[in-house]
Amino acid sequence: MPSNKSVSDAPIVQFTNCRILRDHQLQREDLWVREGKILNPEKLFFDEKGSADVQLDCKNSIIAPGFIDVQINGGFGVDFSLATDDFKSGIDLVSQKILSHGVTSFCPTLVTSPPSVYHQVLPQISVRNGGAHGAGVLGAHLEGPFISKEKKGAHPEHCLRTFEAGAFQDLLATYGSLDCVQIVTLAPEMRRSSEVIQQLTKRGICVSLGHSVANLSQAEEAVQHGATFITHLFNAMLPFHHRDPGIVGLLTSDKIPAGRRVFYGMISDGIHTNPAALRIAHRAHPKGLVLVTDAIAGMGLAPGRHTLGQQVVEIDGLNTYIAGTKTLSGSVATMDTCVRHFQEATGCSVETALEAASLHPAQLLGIEHKKGTLNYDSDADFVMLNDSLYVQATYIAGEEVWRQDVSGM
């Protein structure tokens, strides 16, 4: 058997008998992995005269890129908006547990909080690769406090802020640091928001529009200044109106700069968005849809009282409310559940449902050259699923990090 040693001593793993999601299609091909990357088998055969060291029979499973959750507030009793001394162990716990949902990387999300919380929590979040220890951390998503009082949702009103003179300095003072920040959600109708959007975008931070009463022209202006995302479409924004569709109108706006795509998050849990609204959004702008869980600390726990930052929330079945109200506050849905619900509600293809949780969030964050696809040389972060889109195993950098009990397979 020809040797692989000429190029690398690392073992080559060949996943056989599978359908892999590549170029928007499920293709009956093998998947080759070496040193945490997807390998081009043609180069291996012809340039290196190499072959696989290990073959794994996938038993006709689907292999899709690992899911990326860009809006998750916590889970399993951990709340990312609570400043604790052992905050890092909370991140570790959530990143470990969401492997079973097929999530291979995520953005820990903080809801509107006092500056002291940002100052304490943000230095404890560091961007890191995933592995057996858990899903990778892509950076924080700061949802608020620069949002609209009228559309605050589950965010505490006493912590909301507006942009004062020297708006960007004001934002820096509030957060303390932007070192590990990947996304900032703000309301674009706020005075001085344009300069803030430009400054954040210049630093490579994704600006998302949400918790807002912006009209369409304010939303379009924000996009022209660099905003590229909409936080949980339909939720916490003006409802669609035919004379002024508000932020929702960005889905079919003709004022988006050439070459720019606006993405939008959807909480596809069957509660936050009626299936008909999910279908409308998807049909209007399919390439921009990004599935998010918006999961809170109560995800994975029994119904009852839990927290979301400064608020107490109550879980009743799949509904989560601010205690004593009927205001929805995040979800307890898992990412694989959102993928299945999205596919069922829209009747879209399996490929489309899987890309909404992998390729689209990667494109949003500008990391599609290494995450969100199974292209050659990209990171070997992937999920193995059955035909009903239930997760069977999760791999990060080509290593198995979670597998469903064989008894359940």
Residues forming the annotated binding site for substrate? 154, 235-236, 243, 272, 328-330
Return all residues near 395 (Cβ < 8 A) that are at least 6 apart: 66, 104, 380, 381, 382, 383, 384, 401
What does the DSSP assignment read for 174-196? HHS--TTEEEEEE-TTSTTHHHH
* Residue 406, pLDDT above cutoff 70: no
How far apart (Å, rounded) are the C-alpha atoms in residues 392 and 409? 7
Residues forming the annotated binding site for Zn(2+)? 143, 211, 232
The tens digit of pLDDT for each residue in 133-156 reads 999 999 999 999 999 999 999 999
What does the DSSP assignment read for 34-46? ETTEE--HHHHHH
Residue length of the chain: 409
Res 8: pLDDT = 67
With contact defined as beta carbons under 8 Å apart, do 216 and 246 qualify? yes
Q: Please state the rounded mean pLDDT for residues 335-354.
A: 98
Token pair recorded at residue 251: 């889905």
Q: Distances from the Cα of 75 to the Cαs of 63, 108, 109, 237, 300, in angstroms?
A: 26, 10, 11, 25, 6
The tens digit of pLDDT for each residue in 248-306 reads 999 999 999 999 999 999 999 999 999 999 999 999 999 999 999 999 999 999 999 99
CA dihedral 173, 179, 182, 185 (to 10 degrees): 0
Token pair 């839990």: residue = 306
With contact defined as beta carbons under 8 Å apart, do 372 and 65 qualify? yes
Res 318: pLDDT = 85
Label residue 7 by pLDDT band (50, 70, 90): low
* Residue 26, pLDDT above cutoff 90: yes
* Residue 1, pLDDT above cutoff 60: no
Q: What is the pTM of this model?
A: 0.96
How far apart (Å, rounded) are the C-alpha atoms in residues 233 and 266? 6
Token pair recorded at residue 293: 């869980």
* Residue 93, pLDDT above cutoff 50: yes
Return all residues near 326 (Cβ < 8 A) that are at least 6 apart: none
3-state secondary structure of 72: strand
How far apart (Å, rounded) are the C-alpha atoms in residues 221 and 242? 19
The tens digit of pLDDT for each residue in 173-230 reads 999 999 999 999 999 999 999 999 999 999 999 999 999 999 999 999 999 999 999 9
CATH match of 66-365 with 3.40.50.720: no
Check for a shared fold between 13-64+373-403 and 66-365.
Answer: no
Q: Where are the domains of the chain?
A: 13-64+373-403, 66-365
* Residue 27, pLDDT above cutoff 60: yes
The tens digit of pLDDT for each residue in 30-75 reads 999 999 999 999 988 888 888 899 999 999 999 999 999 999 999 9
Residues forming the annotated binding site? 143, 154, 211, 232, 235-236, 243, 272, 328-330
317: left (phi over 0), alpha (psi -120 to 50) or beta: left
* Residue 4, pLDDT above cutoff 60: no
- For the segment(s) 13-64+373-403, the CATH number from 1.20.58.220, 3.40.50.1980, 2.30.40.10, 3.40.50.720 is 2.30.40.10
Q: Which residues pair with 183 in a beta bridge?
A: 141, 206
- Per the prediction, the chain carries an average pLDDT of 95
Residues serving a catalytic function are 294
